């Protein structure tokens, strides 16, 4: 493990992809499943960059799609590590639709993915702490702590049920 801390900017990812007809529903909008796939990849790269280990997705907070992104537009994904625990990391993924002809970009959704770092035996392994400095990073970290508590409560309820 890399034991020294890392800043969110050290692992932040920006990913862009052109929406092609094969990725779309009959209305010409990108499929929700395709967006989730791209979010998972962008998030996993940020998490893996943070810990320099392979990672797996363990939890995805609710995703909603507020606006369509159309064929011919560009999907832009920004993934940033917002919180780290012992072996898990929360990554915020913001999604934008960009119209190349007008040069405009609109925010279409945000979701939080939790990844776990794995060692060579496939067991959870420690990750470097996240160094948060700016007001925004500190705010995100605090909010992530609350989201984590909620996830763990849900996990415990699912185990009981
Ligand atoms: C990830 C995995 C190895 C964790 O195993 P586990 O036995 O739950 O391990 P632990 O209980 O020690 O949890 C490891 C970390 O994940 C966190 N975690 C586990 N389940 C979680 C959940 N539902 N929500 C949030 N965090 C969770 C734990 O809190 C812990 O975090 P911490 O070390 O930072 O405190 C195991 O659940 C797994 O292999 N899942 C499948 C992952 C996968 O294949 N994903 C692809 C899609 S199927």
Domain 8-160 has CATH 3.10.129.10: yes
Tell me how crowded residue 40 is: count the other CB atoms within 10 A of its CB: 18
Query: Model confidence over 78-87: pLDDT tens digits?
Result: 999 999 999 9
Pocket residue to mutate for ligand 1, from 39, 124, 147, most atoms within 8 A of Cβ? 124
Ligand 1, residues at Cβ distance < 6 Å:
56-59, 85-88, 114, 116, 124, 151, 155
How many Å apart are CA 75 and CA 70, to the nearest integer? 9
* CA of 151, closest atom in ligand 1: 24
Pocket residue to mutate for ligand 1, from 116, 127, 145, most atoms within 8 A of Cβ? 116
How many Å apart are CA 76 and CA 146, to the nearest integer? 27
What are the extents of the domains in the chain?
8-160
On the question of pLDDT at 3 being above 90, the answer is no
Q: Kindly report the protein residue whose alpha carbon is nearest to atom 36 of ligand 1.
A: 58
On the question of pLDDT at 161 being above 80, the answer is no
pTM of the model: 0.95
Query: Model confidence over 6-58: pLDDT tens digits?
Result: 999 999 999 999 999 999 999 999 999 999 999 999 999 999 999 999 999 99
Tell me how crowded residue 161 is: count the other CB atoms within 10 A of its CB: 5
């Amino acid at each position: 493990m890399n034991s020294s801390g890392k800043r969110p900017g050290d692992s932040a990812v920006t990913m862009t992809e052109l929406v092609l007809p094969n990725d779309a529903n009959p209305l010409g909008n990108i499929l929700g499943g395709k967006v989730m796939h791209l979010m998972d990849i962008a998030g996993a790269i940020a998490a893996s960059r943070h810990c320099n280990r392979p990672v797996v997705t363990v939890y995805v907070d609710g995703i909603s799609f507020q606006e369509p992104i159309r064929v011919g537009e560009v999907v832009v994904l920004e993934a940033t590590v917002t919180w780290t625990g012992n072996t898990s990391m929360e990554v915020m993924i913001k999604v934008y639709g960009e119209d190349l002809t007008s040069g405009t970009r609109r925010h279409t959704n945000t979701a939080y993915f939790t990844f776990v770092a794995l060692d060579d035996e496939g067991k959870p392994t420690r990750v470097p702490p996240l160094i948060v400095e700016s007001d925004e990073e500190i705010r995100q970290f605090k909010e992530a702590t609350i989201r984590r508590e909620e996830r763990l409560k849900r996990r415990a309820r699912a185990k009981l049920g």
